[in-house]
Amino acid sequence: MTNITDGVINLLQCPLTKQRLVAVEAKVLDHVNDKIRHSELTNRLGAIVSDVLDDGLVNASGAWLYPVRDSMVCLLTDEAIPLDEFATVDQEDIA
C-alpha cells in the first residue's frame, strides 16, 4: 500500500482520462514488477520500464497505472503503464 494518504489520493485524477485514482492491487503490482524484471513492460510511449515500482495508482477504469517510486507519484502521461493485459481494479471498490 502506498504511503500516500487516502485524502491526497482523492484529490488526484488520471491526467489522461480525468478519472479518479486508487491504489493498485498487490497482485497486479507483483505481476507488473515481474514483467519489469524481465524487461517485458513498456510505458505509454513504448519505452521499456526498467525500474520496479514501490507502488502505483490506477485510474477508475483500470486502464492506466501511474508509478510510485520513493513515495512519489509520477503522473506524467508518458510514464503511464497500460494495464490492458493485467487484472483490473474491482469497480465496486472505486464507487
In tens, the pLDDT along 35-73 reads 999 999 999 999 999 999 999 999 999 999 999 988 889
| 64 bridge partner residues | 82
Length of the chain: 95
Q: Is 1 within the bounds of a domain?
A: no
- Tell me what pLDDT residue 35 has: 96
- pLDDT at residue 27 tops 60: yes
HSE-CB of 40 using CA atoms within 13 angstroms = 9
- Tell me what pLDDT residue 94 has: 44
Q: Is 33 within the bounds of a domain?
A: yes
What domain count does the chain have?
Answer: 1
- Tell me what pLDDT residue 11 has: 85
Q: Is 38 within the bounds of a domain?
A: yes
Q: Is 67 within the bounds of a domain?
A: yes
- CA dist 72 and 40 (Å) reads 23
- Tell me what pLDDT residue 7 has: 77
Q: Is 79 within the bounds of a domain?
A: yes
Range of the domain at 32: 6-94
Grid cell, residue 7, equals 485524502
